[in-house]
Amino acid sequence: MSREYVWLECTECGERNYRAEKEMRGTERLEIMKYCPKLRKHTKHKESRKK
């Protein structure tokens, strides 16, 4: 099974704050409430691939 690192990007400010390991075969995009240090509050973070 292939696993890959993905970045979790804040939906409000656009910064990539976290890196997570994810199984790539047959999975949906991650969407998690995480702490954003720039905004100093919990915001929704979505999966983004490193560019």
Task: Print pLDDT tens along the chain (51 aa).
Answer: 788 899 999 999 999 999 999 988 878 889 999 999 999 999 999 999 765
Q: In the prediction, which pLDDT does 2 show?
A: 82
pLDDT at 24: 83
| C-alpha closest to that of 50 among 2, 1, 5, 10 | 5
Q: Give me the pLDDT at residue 51, please.
A: 56
Structure-block tokens of residue 46? 């979505």
Domain boundaries, the chain: 3-48
Query: What count of residues does the chain have?
Result: 51
How many beta carbons lie within 10 A of that of residue 47, not counting itself?
Answer: 16
Q: What's the confidence (pLDDT) of residue 47?
A: 94
H or E segment and range at residue 31? strand 31-36
3-48: CATH class:
mainly beta
Cα atoms in the 13 Å half-sphere on the side-chain side of 7 = 11
Contact status, residue 17 vs residue 10, Cβ threshold 8 Å: yes
pLDDT at 50: 67
